[in-house]
């Protein structure tokens, strides 16, 4: 298939291939076989640092000098091949690094580029199977991955932050780790005073998941979080009652308490041909889910039979996030 396809379609095809494969014996988790612990004092262990943005990322920078804030981005699961028996991927794995830069950073982290200086650490990401096999090695793999995120964030605070306001951005497995990071460093802690917002879609989150971090319900609100899980309109996943019903949901187009939005409200999604398609979809908040219409754009047939839009949680609302992140940073700076 050519480049002109949804970023999330490729991920979904990969996901379905994994879950349908039952012939692979899953190895036991062996801590002594874990990849080498990264040193985040070394720039080579960061996918993105403000002093060395990749050329393809600069394409999306619309201001010569970003706002006086930082964005700490944690990328989603990118290693899910059934024949990859590793529980965690080494950060120097060249294939994984390319996925991070050319998929996650380009299609997701780029949405926050104009809100502040971007920081993206490589981490020993857990394999996708870690969720399905949580009690059989997945927990240990995810804990190892979070240990890297924690170490990277501590290095960021020590070497780079200098008291600047912070956006936490993540998706999927990245959000799994972001939730823990927020609880450990921000929730009911002094660092919450530096939090502009946490954009943490892709994992179901309880409304009361945090002590003092609240679900934000206005476009310029700061100090809380926003989250959503995107599915095709009128579709309930099999795990709806267990995982999603009653969970927190934000409207990533209006950013307020409205449960619906129209196509004309949609500011644009980023497609893999590097084009933004405006007024392409409308959404509905539905008790734990974010329902979306079929995107209205020239290649919409690629998504005709897709019901789970998980991998598009960010790039479907790329321009909406871009503008909102800038708005929240400006609101934070004005108030502080």
Average pLDDT over residues 271-293: 95
Domain count for the chain = 1
Lowest mean pLDDT among 11-15, 76-80, 171-175, 205-209: 11-15
Over 90: is that where the pLDDT of 296 sits? no
User: Does residue 259 lie within any of the structural domains?
Assistant: yes
* Mean pLDDT for the stretch of residues 126-137: 94
Give the pLDDT score at 5. 36
Contact between 295 and 277 under an 8 Å Cβ cutoff? The reply is yes
In a domain, 2, yes or no: no
* C-alpha closest to that of 15 among 74, 88, 82, 84: 82
Counting every residue written for the chain, the total comes to: 336
Q: Is 177 within the bounds of a domain?
A: yes
For residue 289, the enclosing domain spans: 7-335
197 falls within a domain: yes
Do the domain assignments include residue 85?
A: yes
pTM (predicted TM-score): 0.91
Residue 13 has pLDDT above 50, yes or no: no
pLDDT tens digits along 215-268: 999 999 999 999 999 999 999 999 999 999 999 999 999 999 999 999 999 999
Contacts of 18 (CB under 8 A, 6+ apart): 80, 81, 82, 128, 129
For 255-282, what is the mean pLDDT?
A: 95
Q: Which two structure tokens, joined as six digits, stand for 156?
A: 């960021």
Q: How many CB atoms lie within 10 A of CB 209?
A: 18
pLDDT in tens, 76-112: 999 999 999 999 999 999 999 999 999 999 999 999 9
Q: What are phi and psi of 104, to 5 degrees?
A: -65, -50
CA pair distance 121, 100, nearest whole angstrom: 10
- 1 is a domain residue: no
In a domain, 312, yes or no: yes
Q: Is residue 163 part of a domain?
A: yes
């Amino acid at each position: 298939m050519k480049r002109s396809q949804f970023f999330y379609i490729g991920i979904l095809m990969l996901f379905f291939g994994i879950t349908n494969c039952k012939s692979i014996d899953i190895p036991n988790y062996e801590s002594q076989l874990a990849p080498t612990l990264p040193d985040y004092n070394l720039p080579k262990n960061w996918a993105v640092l403000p002093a060395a943005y990749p050329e393809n990322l600069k394409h999306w920078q619309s201001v010569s000098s970003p706002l006086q804030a930082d964005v700490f981005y944690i990328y989603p699961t990118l290693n899910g091949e059934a024949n990859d028996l590793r529980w965690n991927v080494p950060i120097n794995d060249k294939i994984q690094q390319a996925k991070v830069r050319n998929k996650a950073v380009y299609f997701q982290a780029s949405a926050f580029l104009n809100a502040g200086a971007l920081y993206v650490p490589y981490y020993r990401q857990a394999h996708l199977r870690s969720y399905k096999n949580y009690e059989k090695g997945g927990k240990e793999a995810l804990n190892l991955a979070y240990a890297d995120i924690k170490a990277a964030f501590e290095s960021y605070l020590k070497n780079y932050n200098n008291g600047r306001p912070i956006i936490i951005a993540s998706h999927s497995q990245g959000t799994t780790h972001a939730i823990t990071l927020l609880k450990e460093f921000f929730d009911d802690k002094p660092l919450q005073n530096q939090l502009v917002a946490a954009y943490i879609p892709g994992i179901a989150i309880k409304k009361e998941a945090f002590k003092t971090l609240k679900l934000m319900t206005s476009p310029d609100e700061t100090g809380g979080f926003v989250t959503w899980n995107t599915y095709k309109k009128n579709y309930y996943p099999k795990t709806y009652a267990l995982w999603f019903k009653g969970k927190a949901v934000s409207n990533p187009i209006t950013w307020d308490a409205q449960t619906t939005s129209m196509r004309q409200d949609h500011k644009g999604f980023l497609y893999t041909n590097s084009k933004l398609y405006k007024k392409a979809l409308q959404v509905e908040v539905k008790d734990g889910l974010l329902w979306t219409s079929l995107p209205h754009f020239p290649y919409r047939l690629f998504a005709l039979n897709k019901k789970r839009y998980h991998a598009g949680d960010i790039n479907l609302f790329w321009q909406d996030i871009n503008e909102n992140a800038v708005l929240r940073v400006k609101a934070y700076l004005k108030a502080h």
